[in-house]
Structure 1
Amino acid sequence: MVVAGHDAVVQPTFDHHVRLVTGPYLPDFRMPSDSQVGVRITIGKTEARSTDELIQRYALIASHTDVEARAVTREVKRLAIDAAVRAAVLALVPVLVWELLGSRRRTELRRPTRTGLVITLAFVVLAGFSAWQPWRPALPRVDAGDWVSLPDALPGVTVPPDLRKVEVQNEVFTQSTKGLVADLFGYYDRSKAFYKALVAKVPDAARALHPPAPGQTVALLISDRHDNIDMDQVVRAFADQAKATAVIDAGDDTSAGQSWESFSLESLDDSLKGIGNRIAISGNHDHGSFVSGYLAKHGWTHLDHRATEKFGVRFFGVDDPRASGLGAFIPVKGPTFAEETATLADEVCALDAKGERVATVVVHDATMARTALERGCTDLVVAGHVHVQLGPDRVVGENGKAGYTYTNGTTGGAAFAVAAVGKLRREAEFTFVTYQDGRPVGIQPVRVSTHGQFTVDPYIVLNLDEPH
């Protein structure tokens, strides 16, 4: 499995501790598991490009350790079930062998011969020597050292209160290592304080939200989180105040669409639990099957060239066909962006012609649905990708029907495709879309400044039936 962005091996123990084995060059860490069962986590390779990036990632994950803890707990439970099944199968083996021998042969075995006894004794002796191996000399081993608390191991470094029960083995830290750890703690403290303050401000800021009228449904629109799990708690707090009962995810939840980013998807899913209607598409930074597959396993509806109806509203979505890592676009096989744009328009307009008009098209880049909108085949296009708000802009199609295009900013406050650690690096944004009678009727953006201030924009009415 993946833990803290590393390939990891998880082994249950009974020492009442969670132990992190970091390798031959770094000390191991542990903390009480508060349970009869402990766990040993041996971490392996990671895809971080630099030490600074790795430290920031650790700080981001450390601010919400419950996300990783739940993933490890599930893995331990899975291992326990697997072990129980294997034990049950092995327990049946001697019973089956005994039955297969038959009554006559079992009677013969109860009267062993002298030769049989000699062979059995020789086997037992050889097995004992094989396990003991007295001919092998005892090899010298490095003393791992004692366990000490982080405050004792790092004198002169301010350890966050939440981490003071963590212990480290072999407490010798060089000055440079102390500097790295101090940076990590600094990121951790700033991140916790900044987002805790944001959550505390939500009730006051939410007073400016447009209250849904009877018969209306509010959907939360997010995009471009780019692994910033700290914003998840803020978004959920606002969604509760807005009485949102649906989520529209316009993609780029991750930075590279890799398995090491499972912590981000775990946080997203956990923070929005209880909201039943959740739909998503993948952005260019989510390219591949990992992100969409992970969310689908957790109950999200993945829109990919298909329509689905939620709370009486018809949605249609398409993944971004492009691929990006932490830099520029990466060449990939498959349909081009232009081809997907044309296909989407034909599919959405075909539904409209059948009387199954799509109320909302979800794409990562609004350009992909522009043709469908210009042909007048949908009421609303929602997207992300550019990390700034665009619209809502009204477009009257060739058939005289009106629709809107709206691009949400970056919910993760990402300046680039990498999560912001500590304070936001860029203004963050999420949006509430109101629906009534199967159609979108209003949009209200919420922005979060880099200084930790909310701006709830005025509610914008969507006039779909207004003559052009």
Structure 2
Amino acid sequence: MTRKRVQAVAPWAGLVMLWAATTMLVGALGFSNDSERVTIGAHAATISPTFDGHATLDLGAVLPRLRIATDTPGGVGVNVDIQETDADNLTELLNRDALIASQPDGEIARIQQVIQEMAVDNLVAGAGSGLLVVVVVATLWTSLGRRRRRELWDYVHTHERRFEHRALVVLVAMLITIASIFGPGRMRTAEVPPTEWRPLSELLPQLSLDPRLKRVEVASGFSTTGGVGVIKTAVETYERSTEFYGRLRDQVPRVGGRIHQATENETVALLVSDRHDNIGMDPVAAEVAKVAGAKVLIDAGDDSSSGQSWEVFSIHSLREHFKDLKVVAVAGNHDAGGHIEDAMRKNGFTVLDSKPVEVEGIRFLGDSDPTKTGLGSADSPGDETIADQSKRLADVACEQPDDKRISTMVVHDPSSYAETAARGCAILLLSGHLHRQVGPETKVVDDRPVTTYTNGTTGGAAYAFALGYTLRRPGEMTLVTYTDGKPIGLQTVTAGLAGEITVGPYTPLPS
């Protein structure tokens, strides 16, 4: 490369290096001082990035801090400041937290997403700052002109040591500034010694911890030693949950030979409903979907118990365990309030809203439940009644031409598809809500077969709450097989109270 070409390229290269350096500096400073308030598990929490290589949970003044190594590049970690919750008492809170922690993948993915968003936001801010610096420098450079720049260069280099003296003054000023910022705190004697961390296994030697818990460390101090009983109870709840649902998941491949396998021309969907916060069943259902070769998850609602904002952990878990599947969903009466539907959409679910949609060649229609029901409270009316919704959906279904007939209608309450079934305007109509299986029942309307089916509770819920270290009633999910977008068969898979998996017979549907 000729000298002339180097002289032409050098200013641009210098500007690019200046932009990159400013971007990284401003971005790193912004990222290290950033924080975000989100809902994690059963709590509101503030998430802050760190560079200590650990995920640290600050549980407040009563309970000890916990941490686990993140094993991330650059030692990026996170501090999670756990804050308020709607739990009525400490025992309920600890049980709830332990059960959510037994299936943490959804919440871990949510925290990772928040940290990544912070990194991107601060990188963009750094890039903007870098661009501003480059523009200012380039403007000053061109404003001076070649002659004036040459004069300044000669002036600096022809006056004896004037440049060196000024550089020394600037360097000393920078050192004094840095020392004034960081020095005083280091010169003061610390009143409280640095935090000491102990392995959880050392705190609870009587328990046989799983590999994940063996990596957890606990901050030593009064809250640790004084709260051993509380910590032990939470760990026991965690381990009972992981053992029970882990045993269920491990059994699925053993009975896989009885599960109908999708052929080359078939598409399998897994139907779940009435999970009611029981994320313990999610890895079990995901294993069933994997064995069957499912491509679609159909969620018939009531993923939560009261539709509160803290219950979006249930949707995060569903997304993480079924991230390779397309999800078609409606919200149930216990999901009312908007938080659950919003979380579904943010996680990329296709939420049915009274318009026909096609997913994996299957033509769906449905809508979320209009009724609002809290945990233990009576139903309250929404924008319309179930009867009105049933008629409205039937009108939409029956408007479709024969070559675009609705293949599958999904609602929460079976009463919401009653009118469509009576008119024969959909092939398969699916629901939940009753916590027990009803059907499949097939009738012929105008020479066209119509099948209705209600799935039992996937979360094993007796009433509206299912989060627990075991099932309150059998947890059911149903495999739906399609050919050319038309349903051709159903098969139930049930998790029993004793920890066993039962596979029902494959039931062909009339074409």
2:399 to 347, 350, 354: 350
Q: Which residue of 2 aligns with 1:113?
A: none
Q: Which residue of 2 aligns with 1:409?
A: 456
Aligned partners of 1:317 and 1:438: how far apart in 2? Answer: 16
Q: Which residue of 2 aligns with 1:229?
A: 279
Task: Give the aligned residue type for 2:89.
Answer: S
Query: 1:297 offset after TM fit, Å?
Result: 3.4
* C-alpha distance 24-179 of structure 1, shift in aligned 2 (>3 A): closer
Aligned partners of 2:259 and 2:137: how far apart in 1? Answer: 73
Instruction: Work out whether residues 150 and 164 of structure 1, in 8 Å CA contact, stay in contact via their aligned partners in 2.
Output: yes
* C-alpha distance 57-95 of structure 1, shift in aligned 2 (>3 A): same
Instruction: Work out whether residues 374 and 396 of structure 1, in 8 Å CA contact, stay in contact via their aligned partners in 2.
Output: no
1:26 to 45, 63, 84: 63
Compare 155-164 and 218-227 and name the one that shifted more: 155-164
Q: Deviations over 1:64-89 (max 9, x none)?
A: 33332222222222212222222333
Q: Percent identity?
A: 39
Q: Which residue of 1 aligns with 2:85?
A: 46
Q: Which residue of 1 aligns with 2:20?
A: none
Aligned partners of 1:52 and 1:88: how far apart in 2? Answer: 48
Q: Deviations over 1:193-212 (max 9, x none)?
A: 11222222112322222344
Q: Which residue of 2 aligns with 1:459?
A: 506
1:229-268 alignment runs, 5 A limit: 229-268=279-318
Task: Answer yes or no: is 1:360 the counterpart of 2:408.
Answer: yes
Q: Deviations over 1:115-134 (max 9, x none)?
A: xxxxxxxx99xx99997999
Task: Give the aligned residue type for 1:14.
Answer: F
Task: Give the aligned residue type for 1:85.
Answer: V
Aligned partners of 1:416 and 1:342: how far apart in 2? Answer: 28
1:163-312 alignment runs, 5 A limit: 163-173=213-223, 177-212=227-262, 215-275=265-325, 277-312=326-361
1:126-145 alignment runs, 5 A limit: 145=195
1:73-92 alignment runs, 5 A limit: 73-92=112-131
Instruction: Work out whether residues 232 and 267 of structure 1, in 8 Å CA contact, stay in contact via their aligned partners in 2.
Output: yes
- How high is the TM-score relative to the length of structure 2? 0.78
Aligned partners of 2:295 and 2:209: how far apart in 1? Answer: 40
Q: Deviations over 1:86-127 (max 9, x none)?
A: 2333345555566788659x99xx9xxxxxxxxxxxx99xx9
Aligned partners of 2:294 and 2:215: how far apart in 1? Answer: 38
Aligned partners of 1:327 and 1:157: how far apart in 2? Answer: 36
Q: Which residue of 1 aligns with 2:99?
A: 60
Instruction: Work out whether residues 322 and 329 of structure 1, in 8 Å CA contact, stay in contact via their aligned partners in 2.
Output: no
Gaps of 5+ in 1: 111-122
Q: Which residue of 2 aligns with 1:151?
A: 201
Aligned partners of 1:410 and 1:392: how far apart in 2? Answer: 16
Instruction: Work out whether residues 106 and 319 of structure 2, in 8 Å CA contact, stay in contact via their aligned partners in 1.
Output: no
Task: Answer yes or no: is 1:388 the counterpart of 2:436.
Answer: yes
Task: Answer yes or no: is 1:377 the counterpart of 2:377.
Answer: no
Aligned partners of 1:128 and 1:241: how far apart in 2? Answer: 60
Name the SS of the counterpart of 2:356 in structure 1.
strand
Task: Give the aligned residue type for 2:115.
Answer: V
Q: Which residue of 2 aligns with 1:439?
A: 486
Task: Give the aligned residue type for 1:10.
Answer: I
For this pair of structures, how many residues does the alignment match? 448
Q: Which residue of 1 aligns with 2:10?
A: none
Compare 88-97 and 212-221 and name the one that shifted more: 88-97
Larger radius of gyration: 2
Q: Which residue of 2 aligns with 1:120?
A: none
Name the SS of the counterpart of 2:291 in structure 1.
helix
Aligned partners of 1:342 and 1:182: how far apart in 2? Answer: 54
Q: Deviations over 1:162-195 (max 9, x none)?
A: 3233222233358873332222111111111112
Aligned partners of 2:88 and 2:309: how far apart in 1? Answer: 16
Query: 1:218 offset after TM fit, Å?
Result: 1.9
Instruction: Let me know the Cα RMSD of the aligned residues.
Output: 3.3
Name the SS of the counterpart of 1:351 in structure 2.
coil
Aligned partners of 1:56 and 1:164: how far apart in 2? Answer: 20
Q: Which residue of 1 aligns with 2:384?
A: 335
Aligned partners of 1:133 and 1:165: how far apart in 2? Answer: 35
Q: Deviations over 1:375-399 (max 9, x none)?
A: 22222110111111111112344x4
* C-alpha distance 60-315 of structure 1, shift in aligned 2 (>3 A): same
* C-alpha distance 151-214 of structure 1, shift in aligned 2 (>3 A): closer
Gaps of 5+ in 2: 1-37, 156-172
Name the SS of the counterpart of 1:221 in structure 2.
strand
Instruction: Work out whether residues 153 and 171 of structure 1, in 8 Å CA contact, stay in contact via their aligned partners in 2.
Output: no
Query: 1:361 offset after TM fit, Å?
Result: 0.7
- How high is the TM-score relative to the length of structure 1? 0.84
Instruction: Work out whether residues 105 and 320 of structure 2, in 8 Å CA contact, stay in contact via their aligned partners in 1.
Output: no
Query: 1:300 offset after TM fit, Å?
Result: 2.3
1:448 to 495, 503, 507: 495
Q: Deviations over 1:201-226 (max 9, x none)?
A: 11232222234455332221111112
Aligned partners of 1:11 and 1:92: how far apart in 2? Answer: 27
Instruction: Work out whether residues 281 and 319 of structure 1, in 8 Å CA contact, stay in contact via their aligned partners in 2.
Output: yes
* C-alpha distance 132-240 of structure 1, shift in aligned 2 (>3 A): closer
Aligned partners of 1:148 and 1:182: how far apart in 2? Answer: 15
* C-alpha distance 52-439 of structure 1, shift in aligned 2 (>3 A): same
1:16 to 34, 43, 53: 53
Instruction: Work out whether residues 268 and 481 of structure 2, in 8 Å CA contact, stay in contact via their aligned partners in 1.
Output: yes
Name the SS of the counterpart of 1:244 in structure 2.
coil
Query: 1:355 offset after TM fit, Å?
Result: 5.0
